[in-house]
Amino acid sequence: MISEIRVRFAPSPTGHLHIGNARTAILNWLFARHGNGTFILRIEDTDEERSTRESEESILQDLRWLGLHWNEGVEVGGEFGPYRQSERLSIYQSHGEQLLREGKAYLCYCTPEELEARRAALLESGQGVKYDGRCRALTVAQRQAFERERRKPAIRFIIPEKEVTFVDQVKGEVTFPPESQGDFVLLRGDGLPTYNFACVVDDHLMEISHVIRGDDHVSNTPKQVLLYEAFNWTPPQFAHIPMILGADRQRLSKRHGATSVDAYAAKGYLAEALINYLSLLSWSSESGEEILSVERLIKEFDLSRVTRAAAIFDVAKLNWMNGVYIRNLPAERLVDAAAPYLQKAGYALPERDLLATMIGMVKDGLEYFEQIVDKMAIFFVDQPVTANDESREVLKRDTSKKVLWSFLRVLDDFDKLDASTFRSMMKHVQAETGIIGRELWMPIRVALTGQTHGPDLPMVAQIFGKEKCHRLVQRALAA
């Protein structure tokens, strides 16, 4: 009986944190927090050609941005370290040698070129691709001959001829037939471990209780189960969560849009919204609700509610959800989140209270903060741009010209312009022209903002002030 929940997220630092991997990290983190367990961050960096410290730091930054703080692991430490696989090579070597001594593994002298040639031949003949075991029973003379050629042997595991069955927390009982597996490499000739070997050794020594990962790893699990048996170790519980697919039901990739966490952060998505959305890909709350705080997600998360069906990444739904979170932000955080995008656009920002008012006027139309640059352009660009043909058609109408001329005449009667004054002015314009409703308000909106829809017009006029409103209406009449 497992008394303590210990889960791990173990990314390879070969690029940015992918949305699919982020979902895996989130579910592990929620599971650990729900069970008052331990969330461990391990870096699987044994791919020397592709792994970089820059990628590792990028992944750590993304996890911090999401708020997925780890209890043990790189930068934090812990009693089961080191937590980078590149720093654990002697551990893998000793365990590989143990299996050699016990007759559960053997030295394989096959070169990569020989293995590739045999693989190609098997594919061409339509046979399954697996190692043929030719180095299992080498004589002493054959081994010595290979060593004289300076071949560096790999350590290859002997696959028992038996069915492998394990119970998955999501998929139920899973069985692999004996012929599905071939002897596989534990340690390469250069001393680096393979994924399956390092993963098993680390998960056991770090006392991992549950392995929650994508179901693209299901095919690795029988190999890992056999390794646990070879060492006489108890395997953790496995939970393979469904893949994330694009709208075309193909594996999520760049053709579907942004696929990395940092890309969504850069566009101005909120971390809590992204956690909320990704947690609902293959999992759901018993309540049926979709807007769930992190606290509720932690309280309600349960592996039994993870579905087996593939999850579809719906950007439109993510945008809707992020918009809900934006609209519910406190004013202070709203300003903090929006200001960097406005500054990057070169806008000269007003004092904070006025900026908060301006942002509050456009926030209901936001799906992510990068959009705020266009939404707030009306406040910073002196010459409004008619956004579409509809706007231009509005200004061509005779009724629109009557409204605009009347507006200018009435405006001259006021020393200053605020929202209340603007509403009074519009009543005067209505009385003078006899024009009401949309035909009254739309020409003024288009003249001031260049758009047929937008934020509260009296407040826009107040922020613009009398002089700017006068100038913009004159320009509209001259257009």
Catalytically active residues, by annotation: 254
Report the alpha-carbon angle 427-429-435, nearest 5. 95
* 44 CB neighbour count, 10 Å cutoff: 20
Rounded Cα distance, 141 and 27, in Å:
53
User: End-to-end alpha-carbon separation of the chain, Å?
Assistant: 79
- Element (H or E) spanning 41, and its range? strand 38-41
Distance CA(291)–CA(286), nearest Å, equals 13
The answer to whether the bond into 11 is cis (omega within 30° of 0) is no
Task: Calculate ∠ Cα 127-129-132, nearest 5°.
Answer: 100
The alpha-helical segments, DSSP class H, found in 71-194 are 89-101, 112-125, 140-148
Cβ contact 311:244 at 8 Å: yes
To 10 degrees, the CA torsion angle through 427, 429, 434, 440? -90
Burial of 255 (0-12, 13-18, 19+ CB in 10 A): exposed
Buried/exposed 310-348: b ≥16 CB within 10 Å, e otherwise: ebebeeeebbebbbebbeebeeeebbebbbebbeeeebe
| Long-range contacts from 300-303, C-beta under 8 angstroms, 24+ separation | 300/34, 301/27, 301/30, 301/31, 301/33, 301/34, 302/34, 303/31, 303/169, 303/170, 303/212, 303/239
